[in-house]
Amino acid sequence: MATIKAAILGFGTVGQGIYHILNEKREELKNKLGIELEVAKILVTDTSRERVPGTAHLMTTSMDEVLAEPGMQVVFEAIVNEEPAFTYLKRAVEHKCHVITANKVMFAKRGLELQDLAKVNGVFVGFEATTAGGVPVIKTMKNILLVNDVSRIQGVLNGTSNYILTKMRSQGWSFETALKEAQNLGYAEADPYNDISGQDAFKKLMILSALAFGEQPDWADVDVVGIDSISAEQVKEACEKGLRYRHVAEVEKLADGKVVAKVGPQLVDKEHPLYPVDDVNNAVALDTNYIGTLTLIGPGAGMYPTASVMVEDYAEIIGKRAGFVVTI
Ligand code: HSE
């Protein structure tokens, strides 16, 4: 059986999730894809801490070492910021590795550049995990866009914010208690400011904008408001009126071709498609010309939903096998 080697860059919540799923699904993936995948390197900043038993020998702090591994062909990336992630993935692509990323900060800014570079190098970029966690919005949009035009995208794109708003409403938790629990559950970013300020949802919206419209609005023109502007009192008052706060990110292509976006809390009523989207769930509503409005809902954060779509990206890439070099 042919074997290919993979690396995981970043071994936090998502990186560990990838490792677990690849181990748990090893036999099944081997049978389905006809290829054995071996995680050969795990890139971290500190090798002294063995986060998952039995992985110490795989750890390295050096991207040179990752790329020097014979047969390295797939790189999963779950690092947090733009750099060094972009530089690592650029090097991986130039090394003819397929890359699969969960890094929305990097991808919102450098995604189009990375995809162009991948095209030149004959490799694939999987980015399903950058947006809406386990919700398959990227592959669905790619499919829809083969035939339809998308005119507007409206979504709940941050699981942590939605979880906090839900728990404040349904359990009467304070903002701080709900945030702490979101952190315990592995939903929040290392710096949760990005979740609650709306910046995380904004980055995901920009990724969807680039996919749907081939462009993003000027970032400086987008009004971004977080849930930190909402008090427990406001949540309670809204609830008494039969309304719910949702943190909504939306981008639209106007009739004159201009792409405009905004991100912020909105009060929605029972008739609104985002009303039932509770807890860590995300939702993406797409307005299209032939299908009409299509809404996808599912877990938007967490170890397994996010890691799962990255392994799906891997399976899809292997399925395509375009230019794939298999090491026997
Ligand atoms: N912190 C993010 C969220 C993780 O809560 O949605 C998934 O991107």
d(CA 52, CA 319): 29
Q: Tell which atom from ligand 1 comes closest to the C-alpha of 158.
A: 6
Question: Measuring from each residue's beta carbon to the nearest atom of ligand 1, which residues come in under 6 Å?
Answer: 133, 158-160, 187-189, 195, 200, 300-301
Q: Tell which atom from ligand 1 comes closest to the C-alpha of 194.
A: 1
Locate 201 and state its tokens.
Answer: 């949802």
Instruction: Go through 178-214 and write b for each residue having 16 or more CB atoms within 10 A of its CB, e for each that does not.
Output: bbebbeebbbbbeebebbbbbbbbbbbbbbbbbbbbe
Cβ neighbors of 295 (< 8 A, separation 6 or more) are 273, 283, 284, 285, 286
Mean pLDDT of 311-318: 94
| H/E element, 252 | strand 244-253
Predicted pLDDT of residue 144: 98
Q: Distance from the CA of 58 to the center of ligand 1, in angstroms?
A: 27
Evaluated on CA atoms 87, 90, 95, 101, the torsion sign reads positive
Nearest CA to ligand 1 atom 4: 301
Q: List pLDDT tens digits, range 16-74.
A: 999 999 999 999 999 999 999 999 999 999 999 999 999 999 999 999 999 999 999 99
Burial class (CB in 10 A: 0-12, 13-18, 19+), 28: exposed
Given a cut of 80, whether residue 231 has pLDDT beyond it is yes
Fold category of 137-300 in CATH: Dihydrodipicolinate Reductase; domain 2 (3.30.360)
The torsion angle over the Cα atoms of residues 63, 18, 209 and 273, rounded to 10 degrees, is: -160
Q: List pLDDT tens digits, range 243-297.
A: 999 999 999 999 999 999 999 999 999 999 899 999 999 999 999 999 999 999 9
Given a cut of 50, whether residue 326 has pLDDT beyond it is no
User: Please, are residues 157 and 204 in contact by the beta-carbon 8 Å criterion?
Assistant: yes
Predicted pLDDT of residue 324: 47
Q: Distance from the CA of 205 to the center of ligand 1, in angstroms?
A: 13
The percent of residues above 70 in pLDDT, for the chain, comes to 98
Q: Among this protein's residues, is 320 annotated catalytic?
A: no
Q: Distance from the CA of 195 to the center of ligand 1, in angstroms?
A: 7
At the fourth CATH level, the homologous superfamily of domain 2-133+304-322 is NAD(P)-binding Rossmann-like Domain (3.40.50.720)
Given a cut of 70, whether residue 139 has pLDDT beyond it is yes
Query: Start-end ranges of CATH 3.40.50.720 in the chain?
Result: 2-133+304-322
Q: List pLDDT tens digits, range 160-201.
A: 999 999 999 999 999 999 999 999 999 999 899 999 999 999
**Set 104, 204, 253, 262: catalytic member:** 204
Query: Start-end ranges of CATH 3.30.360.10 in the chain?
Result: 137-300
Residue among 138, 197, 200 whose CB has most ligand 1 atoms within 8 A, to mutate: 200
